[in-house]
Structure 1
Amino acid sequence: MNTIKSHFEMHLRFRNGIFLLVLVLLSSILIFVFYPYSKETPHNLVELTEFQNQIDSLKRIAAIEKEEVKLKLFNPNFISDHKGYQLGLSVEELDRLIAFRNEGKWINSVSDFKKVTKVSDSLLEVISPLFKFPEWVKNKSVIKKDLKKKYMVKSYDQKEDLNEITLELLRKELNVPDFVAEKIIKYRNEIGGFISDIQLKDISVLYENQRKKILSRCTVKTPREVKKVNINKASVKELLEVPYFDFEIALEIKDLVENSGSISNFDELGKINGFSLEKIDRIALYLTLK
């Protein structure tokens, strides 16, 4: 009798157990592969769709706001750095405009803008339709005609006091534009009253012919009392009492005096970097050299 058993011979219960284990493993693999996608995929698609819709909505809002910025009219005299970037102006073109405005001058036409900034014709053609000038500029032909009218210069006794002149008189009797008249009164209040007629030059919106017309009827009769500051001995605090000086200029003047020993002429202030002598005749009203 053959008593040798095969190495591969296995009890029936073991074979059934192994077969059941294989079925369990295959079922687990199939569940792991297919079941998650059947549950999670629809959920992810919904979230992605909602997220994309939000992005599209934000893009539409940004496009609308951008379009509104492009179409909004503006005065080219007041272009900020950000506005200049939006319009496509170069740094040099914007610097020319700012330097021009710092001189107290105004751009009153498209041709003025091109002359000052030197922008290209192609860019000017795009942005010039957005320029909005004040009404008095639009009617400049009428204004020029009025400015050419002769006016009688009154004597000192007949003139109104520039420190007491009213907004109404400036508007109605001297035909000064409302915003210019308001600037004159506001500036007079800010400095505590005029010291001299030449301080009307500080009103940047006041044209030379308008200034002469006002002075034909008005003059400073009650000048504000001012204790002049000795520029060679003044402290920084005392220099700050001069309306035309800020803290930085006061420090520069103090350094100039200390380095020079003393200032013998107000024109020497021109040595200070960035200091303009354009207003030196008004500045001198508040200063003394001795």
Structure 2
Amino acid sequence: MTFNTIKHLFKFSKSQQTGIAILFGIIIILQFVCFFVDFNSLSKENPEKQKWLSLQSEIDAAKLENRNYVAKLYPFNPNFISDYKGYKLGMSVQEIDRLFAFRKQNKYVNSAEEFQKVTKVSDSLLNTIAPFFKFPDWVSHKKENGTYKDFPDRAFAKKEKIIAIDINGATKEDLIKIYGIGEAISIRILNQREKLGGFVSIEQLNDVWGLTPEVISNLNTHFTIAKLPNLHKIDINNASLKELSQFFYFKYELAKQIVKYRSMNGNIKNIEDLIKINGFPVEKANFIALYLDF
């Protein structure tokens, strides 16, 4: 290849020369940009990511606080410990199961020592939770030797002839005289009576929290239903959802089922219709019917 031939290859028109000059200029500028500019400083984080990262310290602090959190205990009756409650207290599954098995026999623990005997919890755990045990009032009336206090004004002495009185006319003082009932439980019975508008069956005392089978047996001996109280009956076919759910034996879900049944099947004619509804307390149907107007 001759020199003239090579020289011919480098001959450009004016417009080509301008284009080559511009290209070289761009290359040089880009080189300077790459050399002098720090592209790391120009990268920007996602604003949402930055927002969450700014909260990281608060999140970490909250986790640490939660890790160090110790649940505050309030007085409770150990007879009614649930699975979750037992777990939170530090009881093992076996210890909780022993308590459940004991309660299924319709028995109650009445002291911290009896609780440990039934559940076999350790001394250290018992010492931690026992100060929060709260037993029914009648238990606190026991003497240290395990017998009950003798109330001098007891109305129903063991050798006296028992005259049963109407539970709907009983006063707090009448109830307290009964073996095993204290002031708190007597008030609880009276409050239950007021909610219902009166008892229609002695069996309803089973719905009062804190009454043991022995105490209920005593109540059955000393009280009766002489006559039905003047009840404000619930119009089962026209009562609203709110009115139905306020009745002691109709919880909100059952009240909804009753309203649904009415809308689909028409008027409820008798208690047998109500028994068909899912969740209805069939075992209490006889006295629930007395509070309803069909």
Q: TM-score range by the shorter chain?
A: 0.5 to 0.7
Equivalent residue number for residue 6 of structure 2: 6
* Residue 146 of structure 1, aligned match among 137, 145, 149: 149
Equivalent residue number for residue 193 of structure 1: 199
Q: C-alpha separation between the residues in 1 aligned to 2:187 and 2:79? A: 19
Is 1:166 the counterpart of 2:171? The answer is: yes
| TM-score, structure 1 normalization | 0.54
Shift of 1:146: 0.6
Equivalent residue number for residue 44 of structure 2: 40
Corresponding residue SS for 1:146: coil
**Contact kept in structure 2, 1:73 and 1:130, CA below 8 Å:** no
Where do 1:132-143 residues align within 5 Å? 132-134=133-135, 136=137, 137=139, 140-141=142-143
Equivalent residue number for residue 108 of structure 1: 110
Question: Residue deviations 1:79-135, cap 9 Å, x none?
Answer: 23332332344455434434544655433222322333344x277347535633248
For residues 148 and 185 of structure 1, do their structure 2 counterparts lie closer, same or farther at Cα, with a shift above 3 Å needed?
Answer: closer
Question: Residue deviations 1:160-206, cap 9 Å, x none?
Answer: 4444211133337978312221243345564943656x876776634
Q: C-alpha separation between the residues in 2 aligned to 1:100 and 1:202? A: 21
**Amino-acid identity (%):** 25
Corresponding residue SS for 2:41: helix
Equivalent residue number for residue 131 of structure 1: 132
* Residue 28 of structure 2, aligned match among 2, 17, 23: 23
Corresponding residue SS for 2:169: coil
Q: C-alpha separation between the residues in 1 aligned to 2:39 and 2:118? A: 72
Letter in 1 for 2:182: P
For residues 34 and 96 of structure 1, do their structure 2 counterparts lie closer, same or farther at Cα, with a shift above 3 Å needed?
Answer: same
For residues 3 and 179 of structure 1, do their structure 2 counterparts lie closer, same or farther at Cα, with a shift above 3 Å needed?
Answer: closer
Q: C-alpha separation between the residues in 1 aligned to 2:211 and 2:102? A: 16
Aligned length: 231
Which ranges in structure 1 are unaligned for 5 or more consecutive residues? 226-234, 251-278
Equivalent residue number for residue 268 of structure 1: none
Letter in 2 for 1:6: I
Equivalent residue number for residue 82 of structure 1: 84
| TM-score, structure 2 normalization | 0.53
**Contact kept in structure 2, 1:170 and 1:181, CA below 8 Å:** yes
**Contact kept in structure 1, 2:166 and 2:226, CA below 8 Å:** yes
Where do 1:39-58 residues align within 5 Å? 40=44, 47=51, 50-58=54-62
Shift of 1:55: 0.9
Q: C-alpha separation between the residues in 1 aligned to 2:217 and 2:48? A: 77
Shift of 1:59: 1.8
Corresponding residue SS for 1:144: coil
Letter in 2 for 1:110: A
**Contact kept in structure 2, 1:236 and 1:247, CA below 8 Å:** no
For residues 63 and 20 of structure 1, do their structure 2 counterparts lie closer, same or farther at Cα, with a shift above 3 Å needed?
Answer: same
For residues 200 and 86 of structure 1, do their structure 2 counterparts lie closer, same or farther at Cα, with a shift above 3 Å needed?
Answer: closer
For residues 148 and 101 of structure 1, do their structure 2 counterparts lie closer, same or farther at Cα, with a shift above 3 Å needed?
Answer: farther
Is 1:155 the counterpart of 2:181? The answer is: no
Which ranges in structure 2 are unaligned for 5 or more consecutive residues? 230-268
The answer to which structure, 1 or 2, has the higher relative contact order (CA under 8 A, 6+ apart) is 1
Equivalent residue number for residue 249 of structure 2: none
For residues 88 and 152 of structure 1, do their structure 2 counterparts lie closer, same or farther at Cα, with a shift above 3 Å needed?
Answer: closer
For residues 188 and 116 of structure 1, do their structure 2 counterparts lie closer, same or farther at Cα, with a shift above 3 Å needed?
Answer: farther
Is 1:180 the counterpart of 2:185? The answer is: yes
For residues 37 and 122 of structure 1, do their structure 2 counterparts lie closer, same or farther at Cα, with a shift above 3 Å needed?
Answer: farther
Q: What is the root-mean-square deviation of aligned Cα atoms in Å? A: 5.0
Shift of 1:6: 3.1
Q: C-alpha separation between the residues in 2 aligned to 1:248 and 1:138? A: 33
**Contact kept in structure 2, 1:74 and 1:132, CA below 8 Å:** yes
**Contact kept in structure 1, 2:180 and 2:215, CA below 8 Å:** no
Q: C-alpha separation between the residues in 2 aligned to 1:239 and 1:199? A: 22
Q: C-alpha separation between the residues in 2 aligned to 1:159 and 1:173? A: 12
**Contact kept in structure 1, 2:179 and 2:218, CA below 8 Å:** yes
Letter in 2 for 1:62: N
Corresponding residue SS for 1:141: coil
